[in-house]
Structures are given as C-alpha cells and as structure tokens.
C-alpha cells in the first residue's frame, strides 16, 4: 500500500521518478490511469487554499473525485492516545475514524500542522502517523508538522523546468515574519534541493536551526547525487552567488512556547527581508505561498522576472497528479 507521509520513508529514486512523471503529465506525454474512479478523502486540521484546490483538481481532471472534510466542524474531535478513557473533549478515536473512512474512500490525504510547542513532539508527526497506523488505505500528507512532501515535489519540478539537471547553487534563506511558522516548508525545500543533488546553503540567523534529522538526511541524499549542504548565518554572502533562492520564514524551535523570546528573535532580523536587490544575480526565486509581501519577501523580488512562484503553485497540481498516480498504482 503506497502511503506517502514523509520523504524520509521513500527512496530518492522513487521521488525523482515521481517528479519526472509530473513533468511528463504536465507536457501531455504521460497520461495517468490510476486516478479514474477513485475518491480521495481530504481531511484538513488547518486552512488551505492551494492544497485544497490543487488536490481536488488533480483528482477531478483525471477521472477521480476529492471529498473535503474539515477536522473542525465537519468531523468529531479526535482522540489520539491508545487506551484513553474518553471522558473529556474528544469524541472519536483516530483508530475508529481511520478505519471507518477506509471503508468509504480510496485514499486519505491529511493536513495537520505542528503545535510548535516542542520540536521533538512535532517530529513524531502524531496525527499523520496515527492515521497511517490505523487506516486500511493509503495516507498522503498535505503538509504535516515537519514536512510538506507535495510542495517539495512541485518545487523539484519547478527547478527541473528552469535549470534542467544542472548542479546549481540553491540557497534556502530565512525571511522575517511576525508569527511563529512551522518548519515543514523549509525542511521540504531542503529535501527538494538534496534530491536534485544541488549545492545547498541554508542561511538563517543564529538560533533558527532546522531539525538535525532533516539536515543529516538531506546531507546524505545530496552527497549521493554529487551535491552538498552547508549552513550560513550571513544572508548577503549566501545570496551573492545563488542561482536558485527559496525565501521562507520559520520559527526558532528554541523559542517554541515562549512568545516573548520568539517576538524578540523575530524582531531582531527584519533586515533579512528578501528583496529584488538581494536576488539580482540569481535566476530563480521560489516561495510556497501564501507570502506576506514586503515583510517576508518584497514586491521587488516576488514580481521580478526571477520569480517562479506562480509556476511553482501550478506545479502543485501536476506533481500531485503524479504522486496520486503512484499512490493508486497498487
């Protein structure tokens, strides 16, 4: 059964094949057969625009159907602890929800952001892994606490479209924000470049480290394809010879649960705003969207010729068709 919860579970070869399939589907040279007549249940614990619409259309355009459920409102408040005496606010155990939905739909896509209370908790991916444990059908991530695989596939497609199989310099640059954001997208941006074998610099202010497990895994995958991963605290230097720039905010896990410290850490680095000037010598700017314009990335960068943000968003659709075609292939 082809669940797809984390890149870390999957061979780089499979991932690269899905990306190539996405490119072929987009160009019309490959026609996915496995979505026909299938229903994808989509369960959202968090809001979504791109993900909701692009997964829906991925299914619909190739003969399937998507069924959207909001975890707050449409379904019952879920219990995740095995053996719990459910005399509190939870109404249904994830075991029962997963097993019942398995009788109605063909795969289950789930979006569940992290709590941002404790990085090691977030890394356990309680929600996604619980559904994966109990479901009798494939489970697909639509962004979890620490990873956004569908975004990652779309990002890989976008770089492949713009730079072929060239080993270019990829910079993931931290960018400012006013709220604590999870690490799912930066982790996936890192995985994206690693699986393409690029020369990666992760640039962020001190204290904003990504999770070691994602750094280590990406370093290993990148090097297996001839690439590399380094970390820098100097945005200007990192961007000076970048070819692909991925701008994105994330919160420092050291400040999880400490709003005062978090606010002060965010406030201290507003000059990390990614501007048109800073990416002037680069070829491609990526961002997963939504983006807070002129706080995180400036209009001068987002609306520049280097900006690939709308192609990247469109590639969500094609990458997900390829992903779902794989998920439904067995």
* Least Cβ distance, residue 194 to a second copy (angstroms): 26
Token look-up 């990002």 returns 155
Name which of residues 54 to 83 contact a second copy (CB under 8 A).
Answer: 54, 56-57, 60, 65, 67, 69-70, 73-76, 79, 83
94 within 8 A of 101, measured Cβ to Cβ: no
- Assess 87 for contact with a second copy (CB under 8 A): yes
Closer Cβ to a second copy, 30 or 292, answer by number: 292
Interatomic CA distance for residues 193 and 29, integer angstroms: 25
242 within 8 A of 282, measured Cβ to Cβ: yes
* Least Cβ distance, residue 176 to a second copy (angstroms): 9
Q: Which of 326, 324, 314 is nearest to 154 (CA)?
A: 314
Q: Name the 3-class secondary structure at 34.
A: coil
Stretch that binds a second copy, among 15-23, 111-119, 241-249, 302-310 (CB under 8 A): 302-310
59 within 8 A of 65, measured Cβ to Cβ: yes
Give the start-end residues of each E strand in 180-279. 199-203, 228-232, 244-248
- Both tokens of residue 287? 């961002």
Closer Cβ to a second copy, 17 or 264, answer by number: 264
Q: Of residues 36, 241, 290, 329, which one binds a second copy by CB under 8 A?
A: 290
Q: Of residues 17, 63, 100, 233, which one binds a second copy by CB under 8 A?
A: 100
Stretch that binds a second copy, among 153-161, 183-191, 243-251, 288-296 (CB under 8 A): 288-296
- Assess 178 for contact with a second copy (CB under 8 A): yes
Q: Could you tell me which residues come within 8 angstroms of residue 288 by beta carbon, excluding any fewer than 6 positions away?
A: 148, 151, 155, 185, 189, 248, 312
- Assess 8 for contact with a second copy (CB under 8 A): no
Site string for a second copy, 227-266 (x = CB under 8 A): ----------------------------------------
Closer Cβ to a second copy, 4 or 318, answer by number: 318
Q: Could you tell me which residues come within 8 angstroms of residue 74 by beta carbon, excluding any fewer than 6 positions away?
A: none
Q: Of residues 8, 14, 24, 53, which one binds a second copy by CB under 8 A?
A: 53
- Assess 268 for contact with a second copy (CB under 8 A): no
Q: To the nearest 10°, report the CA torsion of 263, 266, 271, 273.
A: -120
252 within 8 A of 262, measured Cβ to Cβ: yes
- Both tokens of residue 284? 């491609």
Closer Cβ to a second copy, 58 or 168, answer by number: 58
**Residues interacting with a second copy, by CB under 8 A?**
39, 41, 47-50, 52-54, 56-57, 60, 65, 67, 69-70, 73-76, 79, 83-87, 90-93, 96-97, 99-101, 103-105, 178, 289-296, 299, 302, 309-310, 313-314, 317
């Amino acid at each position: 059964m082809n669940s797809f919860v984390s890149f870390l579970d999957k061979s780089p070869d499979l991932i690269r094949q899905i990306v190539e399939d996405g490119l072929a589907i987009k160009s019309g040279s490959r026609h996915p057969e496995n979505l026909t007549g299938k229903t994808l249940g989509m369960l959202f614990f968090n809001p979504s625009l791109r993900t909701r619409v692009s997964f829906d259309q991925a299914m619909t355009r190739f003969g399937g159907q998507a069924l959207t459920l909001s975890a707050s409102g449409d379904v019952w408040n879920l219990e995740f602890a095995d053996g719990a005496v459910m005399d509190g606010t939870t109404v249904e155990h994830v075991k029962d929800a997963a097993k019942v939905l398995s009788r109605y739909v063909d795969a289950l896509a789930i979006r569940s952001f992290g709590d941002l209370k404790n990085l090691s908790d977030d890394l356990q991916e309680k929600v996604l892994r619980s559904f994966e444990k109990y479901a009798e059908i494939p489970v697909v991530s639509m962004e979890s606490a620490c990873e956004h695989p569908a975004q990652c596939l779309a990002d890989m497609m976008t770089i492949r479209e713009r730079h072929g199989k060239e080993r270019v310099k990829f910079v993931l640059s931290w960018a400012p924000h006013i709220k604590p954001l999870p690490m799912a997208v930066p982790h996936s941006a890192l995985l994206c470049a690693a699986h393409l074998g690029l020369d990666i610099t992760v640039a962020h202010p001190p204290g904003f480290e990504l999770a070691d497990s994602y750094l280590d895994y990406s370093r290993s995958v990148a090097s297996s394809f001839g690439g590399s991963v380094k970390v820098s605290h100097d945005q200007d230097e990192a961007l000076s010879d970048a070819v692909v720039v991925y701008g994105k905010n994330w919160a420092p896990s050291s400040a999880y649960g400490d709003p005062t410290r978090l606010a002060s850490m965010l406030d201290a680095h507003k000059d990390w705003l990614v501007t048109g000037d800073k990416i002037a010598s680069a070829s491609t700017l990526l961002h997963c969207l939504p983006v807070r314009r002129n706080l995180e990335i400036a209009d001068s960068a987002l609306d520049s010729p280097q900006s690939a943000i709308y192609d990247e968003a469109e590639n969500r659709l094609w990458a997900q068709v390829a992903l779902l075609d794989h998920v439904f292939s067995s």
